[in-house]
Amino acid sequence: MDYTKRKIRGINSSFFLAGFVFACWALVCAWYGFPSGFRHGGVAGFALFALAAIFFIAFPAIWARYPAKHPVNHELRRYGELPQVTQRLNHEMSGPVEAMGPFRFTATFLVYDSGHEFRMVPYDQIASAEINSDDPPALVVRTRKGRHYQWYRNWLQGRFNPEQVLEKIRAAARLQNAQPPA
């Protein structure tokens, strides 16, 4: 199966799983009357968890009806026609790919794939890459069109060494001598 199809199925599955978990909690609230600290607490808990389940399950249903709205397809369309960019990404991801945490370095793309999130930037579109001085520090990539990507090193966005990833991005995008924009 192609990388993009696998990624689309993975994101859809994570939304269905979240919806399933919320639906199970709705049933627990309905069955046990949780929370029982106030009158009709079980009904309120059931309603809130059921709404959350519907919310998460609605997204894959919408994306099935309107595939261009899916986050993966939406990100791919930023850099050209969807069939051509998809084919190119699938071809590059099937070849040798260097991985550093959630980052994948192909021949022409920087791919951020944390499992539940997908971002892709062609190297020729990267204008600057730096580590900001915030606490905690984040890896910041800016494109020539003004897009801004910011990734933190944590359990949700992935564990990686920001200095090593920054060096690799600068080398791949040929930014060694470039100064970051002020």
Q: Are 29 and 42 a contacting pair, CB within 8 Å?
A: yes
At residue 40, the pLDDT reads 86
Look-up: residue for tokens 């930023």? Answer: 78
At residue 182, the pLDDT reads 46
At residue 179, the pLDDT reads 52
At residue 41, the pLDDT reads 86
Per CATH, the number for 96-172 is: 2.30.29.30
Q: Are 102 and 93 a contacting pair, CB within 8 Å?
A: no
pTM above 0.75, yes or no: yes
Q: Supply angle C-alpha 169, 150, 118, rounded to 5.
A: 80
Would you give per-residue pLDDT tens digits along the chain (182 residues)? 799 999 999 999 999 999 999 999 999 999 998 887 788 888 999 999 999 999 999 999 999 999 999 999 999 999 999 999 999 999 999 999 999 999 999 999 999 998 889 999 999 999 999 999 877 889 999 999 999 999 998 888 889 999 999 999 999 999 875 555 54
At residue 175, the pLDDT reads 87
Locate the domains of the chain by residue range: 3-72, 96-172
Taking each helix axis as running N to C, give the angle between helix 3-32 and helix 41-65, from 0 to 180 degrees, rounded to the nearest 10.
160
